[in-house]
Amino acid sequence: MTKRLYRSDDRVIAGVCAGIAEYLDFAPVVVRLGYAALTLFTAFAGIPLYIVAWIIMPDKASAKGW
């Protein structure tokens, strides 16, 4: 079975971090904390990356045709 990267239904904003966590089999809070640290230490460069991921990553429900 092929793993696919989707935005998760376990959302805080758009489900990007939770979707990455599901894909990598991590806890969503770990990915969210890593994203927050990345954003703070790179002068908020994580914000445009999150927006791009939000646009590119399909939603899990819409990708399955529900």
Tally of helices (H runs) and strands (E runs) in the chain: 4, 0
Distance CA 25, CA 30 (A): 11
Q: Is the pLDDT of residue 1 over 90?
A: no
* For range 34-48, the mean pLDDT: 94
Q: Is the pLDDT of residue 62 over 80?
A: no
Q: At what angle do helices 16-24 and 46-56 cross, to 10 degrees?
A: 80
For 35, the token pair is 């994203």
